Amino acid sequence: RGPATMSPTGEATGVDQDVVAQRDAYLTTAQGARLYDTDHSLKAGERGPTLLQDHHLREKITHFDHERIPERVVHARGAAAHGVFQGYGTAASITKAAFLGKDVETQVFVRFSTVLGSRGSADTVRDTRGFATKFYTHEGTFDLVGNNIPVFFIQDAIKFPDIIHAGKPHPDREIPQAQSAHDTFWDFVTLHTEATHHTLWNMSDRGIPRSYRMMEGFGVHTFRLVNAEGGTTLAKFHWKPKLGVHSQVWEEAQITGGMDPDFHRRDLADAIEAGAYPQWELGVQVFPDNPEQVFEGIDLLDPTNLVPEELAPVQPIGLLTLNANPTNYFAETEQVAFHPGHLVPGIDITDDPLLTGRLFSYLDTQITRLGGPNFGQLPINRPHAPVNDMLRDGMHQTAVHSGTAPYKPNSLDGGCPFMAGEDVSAYVEVPQAVAAGRKVRQAPASFSDHFSQPRRFWLSMTPVEREHIIAAYTFELNKCYEQAIKERALKVLANIDPQLCQEVATGLGLPAPEPTVPLASVEPSPALSQIGKTWPTD
Ligand code: HEM
């Protein structure tokens, strides 16, 4: 291992830290002193006792004792790969983001994950999957931190601890690991009906993907894109897998999970090693940036909503190819830190209240998970754009900053000639008008319809997809201990569709209740069905 390699600007310099020490001719201590024995501790005589003065023993054991870092509070189990993103240039009229330019190639790192299980849990459980992409663009890092389901459980970030506490294993017995078949999950999602849409997607085949390579990805929130003239457009990001969308059937997922808890992780790594590089097209649905931020009656700031592709087709803007496995799981897959606030010029946020909370949460949790504020200097997190910040010191600081004036304005170190706004390539927030009003803890009235979109999803399913959804609800709810929760779940299903409610009620041996709200009158969206979903681009 060589000396520190970070320049003051965060760029890699000189000696490669990735040299594999154990392959060299001899072992050394962490300080580079050559060792003659690492198999026996220093003892007073062959039969001991072991001596406290054995500093090599102490160094070896102490380092080992501190090898683990906290797992992610959510999305703890994941698998990742390196790749390249190639822009098509088709988004030029709506965003000035340079990495989307024609034939521009950008290195990426993508981490797929389950949400609820711990680091050692099985891959093929019924759950949402994370699909997080780090684009190392020359304008700074852009992270698209999405999921394989286009909607979320909650509309406001303040509910995130609630949904996650309900979804994680019960606090008393710490079961079940990584599946939604339990009382607290169903208690929450039936009391809190804005979760209905996401839950329905989880109970569909989308909850048990065949492979990470065969999943769609979604940015979920509506973003605001900015073009070179300052014009803005609202947009939702989509990843479309070139292999099409495929799931396991439930019985298959049980077998693969039992035979190989690493099923998805292995599948991804093996495919890449064999040269079968998975590919996705990045696409956008675009909407006019009107003051209401509503499209065809759909509130674009409500992350429990999607916009059917029949109303706003997904337009391809680039191609992602994953072509290299990580060299070291811990250094890359475990230490990578995504953040929805890592944005580049041309991509801005909206006031979706879920997104706003996320912008706070990721950095906050990473300061704990990665031991202080300097994890951006870890190789996997280093931007590929020059960094010239005035962030200094802190735990695990590896940069050796020069200069004496890490503040602005200054007259000692030359300062920086440009101020934000004067530099055309700077990231400048859109000067978006905000609605004046009273400070309130309340959601807009447009957030209160929790059943139309789930009903549209149900109506869009083919018969076999419906069968799977009914079987999933029946299986999962049957595992609840509390009768009242099952009954409440049926009331929610009655508001989606009477047939769905009746069939699940039969499976639970309970009467089917009547709907409590009028059934929404919505058209099916065939694009929501995953049957036959492929995106050939050649
Ligand atoms: C982690 C997606 C909502 C807090 C993640 C990851 C993904 C993700 C993909 C894993 C990143 C990785 O691979 O390292 C989403 C999506 C959301 C959402 C698509 C909704 C649209 C939220 C909300 C919060 C939140 C509302 C909190 C207010 C976190 C935290 C982590 C995480 C704390 C762990 C980050 C880390 O330890 O590095 N999320 N999330 N997420 N998410 Fe979210």
pLDDT at 23: 77
Write b or e for each residue in 8-21: b if 16 or more Cβ atoms lie within 10 A of its Cβ, otherwise e: eebeeeeeeeeeee
How many Å apart are CA 493 and CA 190, to the nearest integer?
9
Q: How many CB atoms lie within 10 A of CB 184?
A: 18
**Which residue's alpha carbon is nearest to atom 35 within ligand 1?**
362
pLDDT level of residue 367 (50, 70, 90 thresholds): very high
How many Å apart are CA 112 and CA 405, to the nearest integer?
41
CA 92 → CA 49, 89, 97, 508, distances in Å? 72, 6, 8, 53
pLDDT at 419: 61
Q: Are 487 and 477 in contact (CB under 8 A)?
A: no
pLDDT at 65: 97
**Tens digit of each residue's pLDDT (9 = 90 or more) over 514-533:** 999 999 999 999 999 998 88
CA 27 → CA 384, 487, 501, distances in Å? 33, 64, 66
**Tens digit of each residue's pLDDT (9 = 90 or more) over 315-329:** 999 999 999 999 999
pLDDT at 176: 84
Selected catalytic residue, list 55, 56, 63, 75: 75
User: Is 68 annotated as ligand-binding?
Assistant: no
Give the mean pLDDT of 84-101: 98
**Tens digit of each residue's pLDDT (9 = 90 or more) over 350-360:** 999 999 999 99
**Tens digit of each residue's pLDDT (9 = 90 or more) over 455-464:** 999 999 999 9
User: Is 185 annotated as ligand-binding?
Assistant: no
| % the chain with pLDDT above 90 | 86
Whether 75 is a known active-site residue: answer yes
pTM of the model: 0.95
pLDDT at 287: 98
Query: Which of 71, 73, 75 is the pocket-test mutation for ligand 1 (most atoms within 8 Å of CB)?
Result: 75
**Which residue's alpha carbon is nearest to atom 30 within ligand 1?**
362
pLDDT at 10: 42
Which tokens go with 11? Answer: 């760029």
How many Å apart are CA 70 and CA 531, to the nearest integer?
39
Whether 40 is a known active-site residue: answer no
Q: Which residues contact 247 (CB under 8 A, 6 or more apart)?
A: 205, 206, 208, 209, 210, 530
- Residue 387 scores a pLDDT above 90: yes
237 lines ligand 1 (CB under 6 A): no
User: Is 369 annotated as ligand-binding?
Assistant: yes
**Tens digit of each residue's pLDDT (9 = 90 or more) over 462-485:** 999 999 999 999 999 999 999 999
Selected catalytic residue, list 147, 202, 325, 495: 147
For 48, the 3-state DSSP assignment is coil
pLDDT level of residue 421 (50, 70, 90 thresholds): low
CA of 428 to the centre of ligand 1 (A): 25
Give the mean pLDDT of 247-258: 96
Give the mean pLDDT of 82-101: 98
Question: Residue 332: which region, alpha, beta or left (left: phi > 0; alpha: psi -120 to 50)?
Answer: alpha
- Residue 66 scores a pLDDT above 80: yes
